[in-house]
Structure 1
Amino acid sequence: MTKSANKIISIAIKDMKHIQNVLNRLLQISAKIKNIPFSKMVKILISTSAK
């Protein structure tokens, strides 16, 4: 691949990691608001997204 393609992929990977961190933080906040343990909230999210 060209240098520019590698740079675009590198930026995209960083962006995806940032988005993942933001979504994880939102899930933590949601679990705290609902008074549900974070691990249980993750299980709920996984079970509902698999449908």
Structure 2
Amino acid sequence: MEYRIEHDSMGEVRVPADKFWGAQTQRSVENFPIGVGLETMPREIIRAFG
């Protein structure tokens, strides 16, 4: 996988080259794994929202 280096007030962070977000979002993705495991919403609920 290819990465690019983004900079913010906390320093450098590697962001996957195919993503459009920056350093702060990448830090959030790494530090707050939302939707992993039991935290995912059931498919039935997602379909109901659609």
Q: Judging by fraction of residues, say which structure has more helix.
A: 1
TM normalised by structure 1 equals: 0.32
Q: Which has the larger radius of gyration?
A: 1
Q: Which has the higher contact order (CA 8 A, sep 6+)?
A: 2
